[in-house]
């Protein structure tokens, strides 16, 4: 965990991390050809295509009552991630205008996904698609919260879609962090993880932001994740957001000593700082 103040399972087969990385690379490469760039109108449905469920209308009064989906908020009505140890196909989305988040396609509105998070652009991973809808991971509590965004007919001014070929894999028990670009390992490092009383939370999450503290005390860069400590409701003036960051004393690497964050060597931090926001982070035991 890192100091902050509010601004002004197991993988197994298929596309799971310990499965065939070649299949993952092909899926991402194919998705890149189709989806890189701005999302325009959805593909016209073919014969027999499932109909697109329309979203529930939201009045301006209702809209302004909805919770902003940020690391500082809680959205109790958000459905939990149903497959928290599975690798996605790399799709990530950025709302260019705030997007209403729904509990299900055609379900009730539960939040608004803002255009920025912690001073930078909001990017979240897509974990499931239905005709006209994307299910995304949210940065709010409870951990593993998800929500549906309506995409049918959205123009380039509303939603941007990219493909991140990267996956960051953290093995808590082994005290290891690995970075993959498609099926190619970019490196594995021994890291420090949460102490037994403040464990690093498991499941899939994502790179939420990249922060460069003006007066760094323990790390020149901090990468908050879209997950929180299950042991601490607040930390350092913030909501207990877990992140990746450096540490000046290398003797901590290989130990379970942090408040939930993952402390990484300088070389790993440098690489992580160049990985796109929204990239999937898979944390396993």
pLDDT at 66 (0 to 100) = 98
**Burial class of residue 107 (count of CB atoms within 10 Å of its CB; 0-12, 13-18, 19+):** middle
Q: Are residues 141 and 27 in the same domain?
A: yes
Q: Are residues 29 and 115 in the same domain?
A: yes
Q: What is the pTM of this model?
A: 0.84
- Displacement of CA 259 from its chain's centroid (Å): 20
Closest CA to 106 of 132, 74, 80, 81: 132
The domain of 273 spans 166-284
Q: Are residues 212 and 91 in the same domain?
A: no
Q: Are residues 274 and 235 in the same domain?
A: yes
Is the pLDDT score of 30 beyond 70? no
Q: What is the pLDDT of residues 127-150, one digit of tens each?
A: 999 999 999 999 999 999 999 999
Closest CA to 244 of 215, 268, 214: 268
Q: Are residues 89 and 156 in the same domain?
A: yes
Is the pLDDT score of 224 beyond 60? yes
* pLDDT-based confidence at residue 86 (cuts at 50, 70, 90): very high
Last residue of a domain, one of 163, 181, 197: 163
Domains held by the chain: number: 2
Is the pLDDT score of 209 beyond 50? yes
Q: Are residues 203 and 76 in the same domain?
A: no
Last residue of a domain, one of 163, 188, 210: 163
pLDDT at 156 (0 to 100) = 57
């Amino acid at each position: 965990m890192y100091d902050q103040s509010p601004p002004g399972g197991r993988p197994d087969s298929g596309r799971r991390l310990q499965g065939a990385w070649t299949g993952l690379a092909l899926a991402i490469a194919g998705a890149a050809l189709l989806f890189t760039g701005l999302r325009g109108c959805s593909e016209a449905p073919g014969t027999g295509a499932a109909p697109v469920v329309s979203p529930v209308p939201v009045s301006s009064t209702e809209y302004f009552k909805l919770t902003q989906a940020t690391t500082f908020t809680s959205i109790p009505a958000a459905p939990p991630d149903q497959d928290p140890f599975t690798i996605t196909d790399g799709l990530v989305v950025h709302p260019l205008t705030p997007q209403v988040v729904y509990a299900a396609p055609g379900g009730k509105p539960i939040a608004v996904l803002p255009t920025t998070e912690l001073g930078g652009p909001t990017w979240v991973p897509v974990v499931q698609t239905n005709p006209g809808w994307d299910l995304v991971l949210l940065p709010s509590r409870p951990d593993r919260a998800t929500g549906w965004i309506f995409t049918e007919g959205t123009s380039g001014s509303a939603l941007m879609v990219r493909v991140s070929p990267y996956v960051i894999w953290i093995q808590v028990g082994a005290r290891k962090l690995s970075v993959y670009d498609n099926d190619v390992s970019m490196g594995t490092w021994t890291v420090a993880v949460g102490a037994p009383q403040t464990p690093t939370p498991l499941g899939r999450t994502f790179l939420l932001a990249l922060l460069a503290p003006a007066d760094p005390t323990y790390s020149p860069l901090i990468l908050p994740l879209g997950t929180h400590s299950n042991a601490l409701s607040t930390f350092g003036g913030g909501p207990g957001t877990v992140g990746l960051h450096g540490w000046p004393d290398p003797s901590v690497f290989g130990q379970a000593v942090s408040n939930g964050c993952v402390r990484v060597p300088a070389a790993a931090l440098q690489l992580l700082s160049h990985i796109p926001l929204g990239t999937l982070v898979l944390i396993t035991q």
